[in-house]
Amino acid sequence: MGMDDKVQNSIDTLISSIKSTDKYLEFDEIRRKVILDSDLCNKIERAKEVRKQIDSLSLEDQNGEIGDRLDDEYLELTEDTNVHNYMMAEFGVCSILQTVLKEVVSNIDIELREK
């Protein structure tokens, strides 16, 4: 069971639209520079890992010793301007994707019964 051509065309158009935004173009420019530097890639991957760990902590742990240690490590990693710029640019693209997904999900009715 394949994707309807009309839907696929709309998806392709959406992808092109996202890739033409200032946020995506900025991210892509930074990403292209970053991939040439393996040490920088490693720092960014570690920063992303630490960010995920922080986000997965309970509120109590975020405000405790574990959270403080992870926050300190994240801040240290993002003191590198290149790491900081990459993380901010990636966040910008993710916010676009989240907005698109939220709009699609909230406007497609798949519920059996109204809530």
Given a contact cutoff of 8 angstroms between Cβ atoms, the answer to whether 18 and 24 are in contact is yes
Q: Residue 80: which of 91, 90, 88 has the closest Cα?
A: 88
Q: Residue 73: which of 53, 48, 47, 45 has the closest Cα?
A: 47
| pLDDT tens-digit series, residues 20-54 | 999 999 999 999 999 999 999 999 999 999 999 99
- pTM summary value: 0.85
Delimit the domains of the chain by residue range.
Answer: 23-100
Among residues of the chain, what percentage have pLDDT more than 70?
Answer: 98
pLDDT score, position 115: 64
Q: Give the model's confidence band at 64: pLDDT under 50 very low, under 70 low, under 90 confident, else very high.
A: confident
Residue 90: both structure tokens together? 């990636």
pLDDT score, position 112: 77
| pLDDT tens-digit series, residues 98-109 | 999 999 999 998
What is the distance between the alpha carbons of residues 52 and 74, in angstroms, rounded to a whole number?
11
What is the distance between the alpha carbons of residues 5 and 111, in angstroms, rounded to a whole number?
25
pLDDT score, position 110: 83
Mean pLDDT value across residues 54-78: 91
Mean pLDDT value across residues 58-79: 91
